[in-house]
Amino acid sequence: MTKPKRPLRKAPEVRPARAAGLKPLAKCPTGIRGLDDVTEGGLPRGRSTLVCGAAGCGKTLMAMEFVVRGARDFGEPGVFMAFEETVAELTSNVASLGFDLPSLIRRKKLAVDYVRIERSEIEETGEYDLEGLFVRLGTMIDEVHAKRVVLDTIESLFASLPNEGILRAELRRLFRWLKDRGVTAVITAEQGKEGELTRYGLEEYVSDCVIVLDHRLTNQVATRRLRVVKYRGSKHGTNEYPTMIDEHGLNVLPITSLGLSHDVSTRRVSTGIARLDTMMTGKGYWEGSSILVSGTAGAGKTSIATALLDSVCRHGGRCLFFSFEESPDQIARNMASIGFDLNRHVRSGCLQFHTVRPTLYGLENHLVTLHDLVDRWHPRAVVMDPITGLTSIGEPGEVKSMLMRVVDYLKSRNITTLFTSLTEGGAALEKTDISISSLMDTWLLLRMVESAGERNRILYVLKSRGMAHSNQIREFVLTDHGIKLTDVYVGRGEVYTGSARVVQESRDRADAIAAGQASHRRQREITHERLALEAQMQKLQSRLAELKQETTMAAKQERERDATSRHDTKGLARIRKADSDGAQEEGNNT
Amino acid sequence: MTKAASSPKSGTWDLKLYIAGYTPRAVKALENLKQLCEEHLHGVYTIEVVDLLRNPRLARGDQIVAVPTLVRKLPEPVRKIIGDLSNRERVLVGLDLRPR
Please name which of A399, A468, A444, A474 lies closest in space to residue A290, comparing C-alpha atoms.
A444
A382 with A511, same domain: the answer is no
Q: How many domains does chain A have?
A: 3
Q: Is A315 in the same domain as A406?
A: yes
Q: How far apart are CA A126 and CA A499, in angstroms?
A: 98
Instruction: Tell me A234's DSSP state.
Output: S
Determine how many CB atoms are found less than 10 A away from the CB of residue A68.
25
Query: Any alpha helices (H) in A125-231, and if so which ranges?
Result: 131-144, 156-160, 164-181
**What is the torsional sign of CA A285, A286, A287, A288?**
negative
A37, part of any domain: no
- The full set of domains in chain B, from first to last, is 13-94 (3.40.30.10)
Which residues of chain A neighbour B56 with C-beta distances below 8 Å? 135-136, 138-139
In a domain, A507, yes or no: yes
- B1 has a pLDDT exceeding 60: no
Cis amide bond preceding A386, omega within 30: yes
DSSP state letter for A575: H
Q: Domain holding A96: CATH number? A: 3.40.50.300
Tens digits of residue pLDDT in B71-83: 998 888 888 899 9
> Which chain A positions have a beta carbon within 8 Å of B69's beta carbon?
128, 132
> Is A187 part of a structural domain of the chain?
yes
Q: How confident is the model at residue A63, as a pLDDT?
A: 93
Nearest to B39 by CA among B76, B77, B85: B85
> Where is the domain boundary, A446, A464, A487?
A487
A102 lies in the same domain as A158? yes
Tell me whether residues B91 and A128 touch, CB distance under 8 A. Answer: no
- Considering the domain architecture, whether residues A426 and A562 belong to the same structural domain is answered as no
User: Between the CA of residue B23 and those of A99, A132, A170, A579, what are the distances in Å?
Assistant: 42, 13, 16, 214
Residue A382's nearest CA partner among A352, A416, A420 is: A416
Q: Is B100 on the interface with A (CB under 8 A)?
A: no
> Are A459 and A526 part of one and the same domain?
no
Whether residue A69 contacts residue A4, with contact meaning beta carbons closer than 8 Å, is answered with yes
Same domain, A74 and A208: yes
Q: Sort out which chain A residues have CB atoms less than 8 A from B27's CB and list them.
A: none
| A346-375 b/e (C-beta count within 10 Å ≥ 16 → b) | beeebbbbbbeebeebbbbbbbbbbbbbbe
Burial A246-271 (b: 16+ CB within 10 A, else e): eeebbbbbbbeeeeeeeeeeeebbbb
Residues on chain B touching A87 (C-beta within 8 angstroms): none
Determine the residue among B63, B65, B72, B86 to mutate to test chain A binding: the one whose Cβ has the most chain A Cβ atoms within 10 Å.
B65
Bridge partners of A246, per DSSP, are A249
The answer to whether residue B27 neighbours chain A at the CB level (below 8 Å) is no
Which pLDDT value is given to residue A5? 46
Which pLDDT belongs to residue A434?
53
Helix (H, G, I), strand (E, B) or coil at A564: helix
Contacts of B66 in chain A (CB under 8 A): 128-133, 161
What residues in B contact A138, CB-CB < 8 Å?
56
Q: Nearest CB to A132: which of B18, B79, B91?
A: B18
Convert the pLDDT of each residue in B16-37 to its tens digit.
999 999 999 999 999 999 999 9
Contact partners, residue A542, CB within 8 Å, separation at least 6: none
- Say whether A55 sits in a helix, a strand or coil: coil
Beta strands per DSSP E along A165-282: 184-190, 209-218, 221-231, 240-246, 249-252, 268-269
For residues A150 and A71, what is the distance between their CA atoms, to the nearest angstrom? Answer: 13
Task: Tell which residue, A189, A163, A186, has the closest CA to residue A175.
Answer: A186
Q: A17: part of which helix (H) or strand (E)?
A: none
Residue A195 and residue A275 in one domain? no
From A155, A187, A217, give the residue that closes a domain: A217
Q: Residue A1: its pLDDT value, please?
A: 45
C-alpha distances in angstroms, A456 versus A6, A299, A493, A500, A506? Answer: 58, 9, 18, 10, 18
Q: Residue A208 falls within a domain, yes or no?
A: yes
**Residue A254 resides in a domain:** no
DSSP-derived secondary structure for A493-561: TEEE-HHHHHHHHHHHHHHHHHHHHHHHHHHHHHHHHHHHHHHHHHHHHHHHHHHHHHHHHHHHHHHHH
Residue A76 phi/psi, 5-degree rounding, is -120, 100
- Tell me the pairing of strands A209-218 and A48-53: parallel
* Same-domain status, A201 and A327: no
Please check whether residue A347 lies inside any domain of the structure.
yes
Note whether A157 and A124 are within 8 A (CB).
no
- For the beta carbon of residue A132, count every other beta carbon within 10 angstroms: 26
DSSP A585: H
The verdict on residue A238 lying in a domain is no
Yes or no, beta carbons of B67 and A116 under 8 Å apart? no
Show pLDDT as tens, one digit a residue, over chain A (590 residues): 444 445 555 554 444 444 445 667 889 999 887 888 888 889 999 999 999 988 888 899 999 999 999 999 999 999 999 998 999 999 998 998 889 999 999 999 999 999 988 887 788 888 899 999 999 999 999 999 999 999 998 888 888 888 888 889 999 999 999 999 999 999 999 888 777 888 888 888 877 899 999 887 766 667 788 888 888 888 887 778 878 787 778 888 765 545 556 677 888 889 888 888 888 888 889 988 999 998 888 888 899 999 999 999 988 889 999 998 889 999 999 899 988 898 999 999 889 998 888 877 777 778 878 887 888 888 999 999 888 878 777 777 778 878 888 888 888 888 999 999 887 765 555 555 556 778 888 998 888 887 778 888 888 888 888 888 888 888 888 888 878 888 877 665 566 777 777 787 788 788 888 889 999 999 999 999 999 999 999 999 999 999 999 999 999 999 998 888 888 888 888 877 766 555 454 445 54
Pairing of strands A221-231, A240-246: antiparallel
Q: Name residue A152's beta-bridge partners.
A: A82
Q: Are both A478 and A516 inside the same structural domain?
A: no
Number of H helices, E strands in chain A: 15, 25
Distance CA A221, CA A6 (A): 35
Question: How far apart are alpha carbons A430 and A436 in whole angstroms?
Answer: 11
Residues A513 and A548 in one domain: yes
For A61, the domain range is: 46-119+128-217
Q: Which of A113, A115, A122 sits opposite B82 (nearest CB)?
A: A122
Of A405, A410, A400, A390, nearest in space to A325 by CA: A390
Examine residue A222 and state whether it is found in any structural domain, yes or no: no
Amino acid at residue number A32: I
Q: How many residues can be counted in chain A? A: 590
Last residue of a domain, one of A217, A250, A285: A217
Can you give the pLDDT at residue A256?
53
Instruction: Determine the pLDDT at residue A491.
Output: 61
CA distance B90 to chain A (A): 6
Q: Are residues A511 and A471 in the same domain?
A: no
Same domain, yes or no: A316 and A345: yes
